[in-house]
Amino acid sequence: MEGAKTTRSSIAEVVTESNSSPSSSNSSASIHNNDRERYPPPAARVVTNRSCVVPWSKRRGMFGQLALVPEIEDARDYGMLIKYLITILVAAAGSTAPMASTILIPALSEVSASLHSTQVKANLSVSLYMLSMAIFPLWWSSISERKGRRTVYITSFSLFTVFTICCAISTNISMLIVFRVASGAAASSVQAVGAGSVADIWQVSERGKAMGWFYLGPLCGPLLGPILGGILTQGFGWKGTQWFLTIFGLVLLLGMLFCLPETLRTQDRPKDGHVELPDLNDDELSTEDGTMEPPGLQLTASRVSRRTLKRSKHWIKTAKIILVDPLKSLLYLRFPPVLLTVIYAGVTFATLYMLNISLQIAYSGDPYYYSPLVVGLLFIPNSLGYITASVAGGRWSDSIMRRAATKRRAAAGGDESTPLEYRPEDRMGVNAWIAAITVPSTLICYGWIVKQGYHWAAPLPFTLIFGFGSMLALGMAMTMLTEFVPGRASSAVAVNNFVRNIFACIGGTLTEPITDAIGSGWLFTILGILASVSLGVIWAMHRYGPKWRAELHKYSFM
């Protein structure tokens, strides 16, 4: 196709029905000719390449015709404005689940008193929420790679809005816990599908920057949650937090309905196994002894048998997609680069949550005794570290990757006309070494400063540096996971979320009892030593990465 071979043209040069060249009359361009639909310039100008706009009647995804942004054949050909719009919308949606996991923390005492329960049961509304965030992305990612991203977003946020309303009107602790788990399961869709959406629309060389913007949502969510939770609880009680989440989810749902087109490319959808049914003729239908049945009875038996086979095949296929296929995502852990990256991200994410809980424990008790609102505000240094690393870290990762590819091309004797070879492990440059040094060292310093009960401001510079270093590591790991297994970004990221949220759930549950037993100094010293495993991951990726990727064909994932 000549259109595919042309260089990127200006926005005004986008192919429409009126200006398509004769050589472009292939299957892509014929969509317009067959349906005879003409798109106005505003619809076509969202595209920066000769990628055809999908006709209104053929748009995919739930309520796809309502989207104001038109669907195109290859989402990587959207203009920069549309790409940023989709990325920011998905990032905002990605903040929902983590923010909802922590927004109730300042209100747990009020929850237990209001619902005539105990503090232990109230804590379950947080820990079980984290567990649902770990498990259900496996299912959402599997569905998204078959039915598309848009369908998953709209379905999950419709459910999230309903379940959060049920949380707000809960009359007992059991009802609150059940609907909190359900709302966490619904909102967790973006934890896996969001990274897939970013991979759908951005080229590999630009993806680190985009992933940094996207990851602002999932990482700032748990930091903004306690701040918003303290303010809302003080002004409106614990139910105010749930009504806020309801409104937030509804606004996002409306944004997805009207601004989020389907971005999954058709060729990236997994192929389901097909079972052929026997094609029996009337002459072939006979009994075991070779005698023919009467024609009427024979045809009836044939139709019943074929209907039964068809129905059984349908239910077996549906059960496989619902129950088995999502769990196949865990097979990605057999691939060494994915396993090492997931462990690296999981340990870093667990230390993040343990640091957050430690902050609350430290500043709520002796010698500070601060109110929930003040404790929430003390999370601001973490947030600044995350935001800085998210904005700068992704772009930095892209430049490191590009430099490594350029250097490799020069070493091979290529010139500027030789295409660059981008390798996922190239993202682990000086940024990875900075993260590997700052995360363990700041954890250890923070732990011993808090244990000694120094001035309230003393630990905060270390939490800021920790936020910067951990975000460098997490953003880099997330981007690499979308590149190790091309076309299966959502499933790879879902596995990452599965592991890291389980780590975070266990770590968050154990932080307080371990702190009481050995103190924050020794706890964070141990965590610092565990975080040092990243040094080994960096070495292994650069040493064995090319070999592992060359053996990708040996692994059966889907």
Is 150 or 509 the better-scoring residue by pLDDT?
150
Fold of the domain spanning 70-265: Growth Hormone; Chain: A; (1.20.1250)
Average pLDDT of the chain, as a whole number: 78
Q: Is 318 exposed, middle or buried (0-12, 13-18, 19+ CB in 10 A)?
A: exposed
What single DSSP character describes residue 206? G
The residues spanned by each domain of the chain are: 70-265, 329-551
Q: Is the pLDDT of residue 167 over 50?
A: yes
Q: Is the pLDDT of residue 27 over 70?
A: no
Residue-wise pLDDT tens digits, 286-333? 444 444 445 555 556 566 566 677 767 767 776 666 666 667 778 888
User: In the prediction, which pLDDT does 316 show?
Assistant: 73
Q: What percent of the chain has pLDDT over 90?
A: 21
The model's confidence at residue 183, banded by pLDDT at 50, 70 and 90, is very high
Q: Is the pLDDT of residue 244 over 90?
A: yes
Owner of token pair 């008790």:
365
Fold of the domain spanning 329-551: Growth Hormone; Chain: A; (1.20.1250)
Q: Is the pLDDT of residue 29 over 60?
A: no
User: In the prediction, which pLDDT does 296 show?
Assistant: 57
DSSP string, 53-94: BPPGGG--STTGGG-SSPPBS-GGGB-HHHHHHHHHHHHHHH
Q: Is the pLDDT of residue 88 over 50?
A: yes
168-176 mean pLDDT: 92
Q: Is the pLDDT of residue 19 over 70?
A: no
Residue-wise pLDDT tens digits, 368-395? 888 777 877 888 888 888 888 877 887 8
**CA neighbor of 46 nearest in space, from 15, 1, 20:** 15
DSSP string, 351-397: HHHHHHHHHHHHHHSTTT---HHHHHHTTHHHHHHHHHHHHHHHHHH
Q: Is the pLDDT of residue 543 over 80?
A: yes
Which of 70-79, 259-268, 281-290, 311-320 is predicted with the least confidence, judged by mean pLDDT?
A: 281-290
User: In the prediction, which pLDDT does 299 show?
Assistant: 56
The set of residues, in sequence order, having a beta carbon less than 8 Å from that of 42 and lying 6+ positions away, is none
Q: What percent of the chain has pLDDT over 70?
A: 79
pTM to 2 decimal places: 0.67
User: In the prediction, which pLDDT does 248 show?
Assistant: 96
33-39 mean pLDDT: 39
Residue-wise pLDDT tens digits, 191-228? 778 888 888 898 877 877 787 788 778 777 777 887 88
User: In the prediction, which pLDDT does 548 show?
Assistant: 86
Q: Is the pLDDT of residue 44 over 60?
A: no
**CA neighbor of 279 nearest in space, from 246, 302, 252, 250:** 302
User: In the prediction, which pLDDT does 186 show?
Assistant: 93
Tell me how crowded residue 519 is: count the other CB atoms within 10 A of its CB: 15
